[in-house]
Structures are given as C-alpha cells and as structure tokens.
Amino acid sequence: MTDETGTGQCPLSREEPRVAHSRTLRFWLDPANIAVRLGQAGPVARTKAGPAVAFQVNDPSLLRKVGGGEDTFQFWTADPSLRDFTGNGFPGAEGQAHRDRRALMKPALAAPRLTALGRSVRDSADGLLAGLPADRPVDIPYEMSRLVAGLVIESVLNSDISPDTLAELARARSVLSAGVFWKYALAPWPWVPVPRRRAFRRALATLNEAAREVYARHRPDADGSDVVSLLKRASDDRPDVALHDLRALLFAGIEATSSTLAWACYELGRHPGHQAAVRAEADAVLATDAPADAIRPGLMPRSAGFVREVTRLHGIPFLVRRARHATYVGDQPVPAGALVTLPLGALRRDPARYARPEEFDPLRWSPEARPPLSPAALLPYGLGPRYCPGAAASDILVPVALASLVRSRTLRTASTGRTVRVSLDLTPMPKGLTMVAAPREPHPPAPGRPRHEQAAPARRH
C-alpha cells in the first residue's frame, strides 16, 4: 500500500500491468513476502519499519485472541489521534457504548431484511454505470469509488445526493483514507507532521456535506426500520448525533468496497475468460422478472467466487490493534502502547490451506471444488466486537455490482507495461490503474424485459 516502486512484483506477462510494493514497508504490506518471513519467524514476530515497532501475529488462534480481546487490545478507530475523524460516532466509542450503537443498527443491516437489496443494487448500478466514460480510459479507483458511493447511498441508506457531491466524495475517498492511515501511524510521534493535513480537512468537509445530504434526502421505509430511520429516532431528532454514525457508515461502506471492485476490474482485465463467465451468469440472473430475492450471491457462484478470490489476493493485508497495557501474546512480551498487527494477507496465502496460493483462481471457490473452502477463513470483515456491521449488505452489494458492471461494459487495460502501485491507504487500492470500459455490444437485455427488447437503464427513486 504505497506509491513507491519496490522489488515485490507479480509475475505477469508484458501485456499486463505490474503491481509494485514498497521496499521500505514491504514486510508489512506485501503479503507474499510476509507469508514467507512469518513462516520462518514463528507465531509472533517483532518487526521494525522506520520509527514503528510492531508485533506480527502468525498463529491463527492467537490472531483471534488478539482480534477479539477488546479489554487488552484497543481498536485503531478508538485512538484519540482520530477523534476529529470519528467524532462521537460508534467507531470511536468503546465498551458498552459501542455495543449499544451497533445493536441499534443491527436489525436494519441483518440478512433477513435485505431480501430486496440485490434488485435495488442492480437497478441503481444501471443508472450509475451510464455515467462511466466510454470514449477514453478511465481512472478505475475514482470510478469505483463513485459507483460504490452511489450504491451505498441509494440502496443501503435509502437516500441520494447531488451528482456534484457524489463526484467530490469519490475524489475525497483516497485523501481521507490516506489521512486516517497517517494520523494513526504517526500518533506515537505527535511532533511528526501528518502529510497533506489541509487536503484531509477539505476531504472531511466533503464527507460531512455528503452525510448531511443523505440525512436531509432520506426516504424512510414504510415500517420505519431502515438504518437511517433507526439512527434518527435513537438520536431524538438531533442531527448532529445521527450524522456522526451516518458519516461512519458512509465512509466504511465506500472505503473497503471500492477497493474490492477496483482490484476486481484489474483481474477482469487480466482474465477475459473469467470476465466472459461472470457476464454469462449476470445475463441469466440480472435480466429477469423473478422475485426480488432471486438476485442474490447464492445464485451467482461465479461472481461471488470472483469477489472472494479478489479479497484473498488483494484484501486488506492486516488488522491493527494497540496494547492498552503491558501484556503477552503467546510467549512474547508486548509493552503498553505497542502495535500488534494481524497479517490476514499472509494467512490468505497459506499453502497449507490454498493450492497454488499466488495464482488467481476464482474457481477454487466453486461449490463443486474439493476440498471446499470456507469464505469465513478470509476474515473479510474483521473479527471480534469490531466485526463490520454492514457485512451482510456488502455480501450482496459487491457481487451484484460486479455482475452489473460486467454485464454493461467490457473492461480491458488501457496500456501495456504499466506499473500499478499499491496506495498507502486504509485498504489497498490499485493506484494508477486506468482501463477502457467499452459499452458491451450487443447491448445486454434490460432487467424485467424479454431479451429482444431494450430499455433505458433504470434508477431507483
């Protein structure tokens, strides 16, 4: 996750963009390298990169103990250095206060309530993808941030924002993500200036404006049990209280999901055969008049498997905790305030669990694959009391968004021999990835219409 060129590059052909990792931070941020190093180091390894000392946990049982031990290990968003970002929202709260806010939102984001989310994502994606340029190469990280922001706002939060604010929010994502990363990483050394401090404040103002528009334009469900309605009622109609949680949901929903879809675009360009398979599945599932719950990942194994494989190879490489007091992780003493990192990227490349771990193979997640793999082993949404509250919504949104994208556009890399750098953000983003998103010919059948008819893309109102 850096914009420096290092030596850790994927073995791709000359026609494919290469991926570069940081030489300075390679131990932390290149999962292929860390998998080998940690395998040699034992269950806990003490590492140092610049001024930062951290303890890397390589034992799955210890990893879960640290990830779930909130009394001993502090979650990163609760750090005082991020107070201007988290505000009074649930990410910055701890203990019972944090659990109460999560419990409040849980019914609205639980799987039983999301039966129509797939259809809503499909319909919203059609309108959002209509704005994707077709006459020039596009900046994939920006366009996926714009797509995901629109989908989260329209389909999950039951609202909308102006096109200008949506575009500004998509541009602000990377600044916010990198700013939060640096503010936390440099918290033990407050005299070190955080890069791009002014740009971060402007991006945070954009996020605040987007949250205010979502709050003001919110369309409650008939039963009043959607997530924004619940936040409003629990806050006694005090917008400032609800807005902190709404801002957190908005940023979290955009951050990780846009990274996943950006890396999915990268892999679609590398693997046209898989792109064709996902498209065939999308044509069969998305262009139907079937009941709302017919558009779900369980009926889209190729799309869901593609997303899981993208997460395995390109998902967030580690989780971070900070020791509240001096403690032990296994037999390793850890001083108070020390960083403890949980290298998920290395575990996802464990050759004992995954055959050919460096190969991109979405078919390893096929229902027919033997031995079967458990998606839970990827830990895509964290673990312990900080498990992502929107996990069930994301499990539907991401595969359907991917299928909608492939169903309407053909993706290919815009140039040959280009190095794609991994940005130094909260979640890894393919920095510098430009692609051609050509309209599909012939046009795909529109949802709800016979295949010989065509209609303009539908948007959710």
Q: What is the pTM of this model?
A: 0.87
3-state secondary structure of 56: strand
Mean pLDDT by 10 residues, the chain (461 residues): 33 47 45 55 75 79 87 87 84 87 92 92 94 91 97 96 96 93 82 87 96 96 94 83 91 94 96 96 88 87 97 90 92 90 85 90 93 87 87 96 96 78 86 92 62 37 35
Which residue matches tokens 């494919």?
16
Q: Which two tokens stand for residue 65?
A: 């103990």
pLDDT score, position 259: 95
- Please give the pLDDT value at position 235: 83
3-state DSSP of 64-106: HHHHHCCCCEEEHHHCHHHHHHHCCCHHHCCHHHHHHHHHHHH
How confident is the model at residue 38, as a pLDDT? 56
Measure the CA–CA gap between 102 and 237, rounded to whole angstroms: 18
Which CATH number is 18-23+80-318+354-439's, of 2.40.110.10, 3.40.50.300, 1.10.150.530, 1.10.630.10?
1.10.630.10
Angle (deg, nearest 10), helices 391-408 and 140-151 = 120
Q: Which two tokens stand for residue 258?
A: 């846009």
How many angstroms separate the CA atoms of 281 and 274, rounded? 11
52's CB contacts (< 8 A; 6+ apart) are 185, 188, 339
Residue 117 to residue 107: CA distance in whole angstroms: 14
What is the rounded distance in angstroms from the CA atom of residue 178 to the CA atom of residue 423?
8
Query: What pLDDT score does 27 carry?
Result: 45
Beta strands of 92-146 (E only): which ranges? 138-139
Taking Cα atoms as reference points, which of 308, 285, 292 lies closest to residue 400?
285
Task: Identify the sign of the CA torsion 241, 245, 251, 253.
Answer: negative
Q: Which H/E stretch holds residue 40?
A: helix 31-41
* Whole-number Å distance between alpha carbons of 402 and 100: 33
Task: Give the pLDDT of residue 45.
Answer: 83
DSSP string, 383-438: -GGG--TTHHHHHHHHHHHHHHHHHHEEEEESSSSPEEEE--SSS--EET-EEEEE
Domains in the chain: boundaries: 18-23+80-318+354-439
In whole angstroms, what separates CA 43 from the centre of its chain? Answer: 28
